[in-house]
Amino acid sequence: MAAFPFEISAREGAARTGVLKTPRGDIRTPAFMPVGTAATVKALTVDQVAATGADIILGNTYHLMLRPTAERVKRLGGLHRFMRWDKPILTDSGGFQVMSLSKISKVTEEAATFQSHIDGSRHVLSPERSIEIQADLLGSDIVMQLDELVPLPSDDDKVAEAMRRSARWGERSKAAFGARDSQALFGIQQGGVSEALRRESAERLTEIGFDGYALGGLAVGEGHEAMCEVLDYAPGLLPADRPRYLMGVGKPIDLVEAVWRGVDMFDCVLPTRSGRHGQAWTWEGSVNLKNARFAEDDTPLDKTSDVPASRDYSKAYLHHLVKSEEILGQVLLSWHNIAFFQTLMAAMRAAIAEGRLAAFRADFRARQRGA
């Protein structure tokens, strides 16, 4: 049933480390997936992304179906070939962006109908169409079911309704996906901040049976504390032998707290978005390179890194680039941030393997000032 073997090599409390094996390469977990929205991890070449140690990146169905269109990507040989990334790609279902970016016309049991934020053109996204786009046209390695989510806070009734529709859409997604050897399908748990709804969602999804399970509908306004409270129980409701993916998260402190609670995979635009705005993530929290205190700081962001952006350029130079609004500043800080996130994940994998994640977490929380 499970397309990709998931080998857990060590556990500490709820946390675990291992490898998700795919035909395009191993994904070391816990894993952070840089976001390549429109077939590009913003500002970076694929070689720069690979140099950070990223095993997998994420592509956005919504953006790609609108431009250059999934059919065009298919004609050009699929998303991997189109963007020159030969390691695994996970694609989202498009559901989140339909809700957050497009002008929605209508969401029915059948499908979401929406207008493009680019040119106003009308599109229909059903569970089956999302699978077709991801699995058959883009050629994604890990395909996400279409789900419906609601912003938090929302009425329990609304949250429950969206969760149950998501489960029904999960079933249709599974049927449309069928049986595949070289691609995996992940279901998405919903249920907001309600343990009962999260439990019901997990039971429905497990009944259907997926290759992996995402925690959806978090990081949508509930805050770090409320998210952590959900993560105290929600990952444990999902099958322990399959990867658990917390969608759209997050800050380094979120990653540490979620790994501690049993999450295996993450994606977030934060490192690249921060980088484009002059912000660098470090072991001591985030810093804005525009700050005058860096103007003559001749030290690099991370002299122990293998990545040139982190190791070779001084903070003074980065400060100058940011102040001068030079593209290279956006490139180097995006690159550094992705590298830092990968370094953080590698450090957590090593900590779990050596049974010292609890100490790592305590130390990390103490050091992350201003995060």
| Rg (the chain; Cα; Å) | 20
75 binds a second copy (CB under 8 A): yes
Q: Name the segment binding a second copy (CB under 8 A); options: 79-87, 205-213, 254-262, 354-362.
A: 79-87
Q: Name the segment binding a second copy (CB under 8 A); options: 157-165, 242-250, 315-323, 357-365.
A: 315-323
Nearer to a second copy, 46 or 163 (CB): 46
295 binds a second copy (CB under 8 A): yes
Q: DSSP code of 73?
A: H
Q: So which residues are the catalytic ones?
A: 92, 267
Q: Name the segment binding a second copy (CB under 8 A); options: 192-200, 229-237, 329-337, 351-359.
A: 329-337
Q: Is the peptide bond before 34 cis (omega within 30 degrees of 0)?
A: no
β-pair partners for 282: 285
Q: Which position among 6, 19, 26, 42 is part of the footprint of a second copy (CB under 8 A)?
A: 42
End-to-end Cα spacing for the chain? 41
269 binds a second copy (CB under 8 A): no
Going by C-alpha positions, the residue among 268, 348, 273, 341 that lies closest to residue 310 is 341
Please calculate the CA angle 174-175-181 and round it to the nearest 5 degrees. 65
Residue 43 phi, psi dihedral angles, 5° rounding: 80, -5
What are the DSSP calls for 142-185, one per residue? EEEPP-----SS--HHHHHHHHHHHHHHHHHHHHHH---SS-EE
Q: Which position among 7, 110, 207, 312 is part of the footprint of a second copy (CB under 8 A)?
A: 312
Q: Which position among 203, 284, 306, 326 is part of the footprint of a second copy (CB under 8 A)?
A: 326
Q: Which position among 61, 126, 173, 330 is part of the footprint of a second copy (CB under 8 A)?
A: 330
CB of 39 to a second copy, least distance (A): 6
β-pair partners for 286: 281
76 binds a second copy (CB under 8 A): yes
67 binds a second copy (CB under 8 A): yes
CB of 307 to a second copy, least distance (A): 11
β-strands 25-29, 15-22 pairing = antiparallel
State the number of binding residues for a second copy (CB under 8 A).
Answer: 38
Residues 66 and 125 sit within 8 Å (Cβ to Cβ):
no
From residue 77, alpha-carbon distances to 73, 74, 86, 132 in Å are 6, 5, 12, 15
Q: Name the segment binding a second copy (CB under 8 A); options: 96-104, 307-315, 341-349, 359-367.
A: 307-315
CB of 327 to a second copy, least distance (A): 4
Binding to a second copy in span 332-371, by CB under 8 A: 332
Q: Name the segment binding a second copy (CB under 8 A); options: 80-88, 89-97, 126-134, 340-348.
A: 80-88
CA atoms within 13 A on the CB side of 343: 19
Helices vs strands, H then E, count in the chain: 15, 16
290 binds a second copy (CB under 8 A): no
CB of 248 to a second copy, least distance (A): 21
Residues that bind a second copy (CB under 8 A): 38-40, 42-45, 47, 67-68, 72, 75-77, 82-84, 276, 295-296, 298, 308, 312-314, 316-317, 319-321, 323-324, 326-328, 330-332
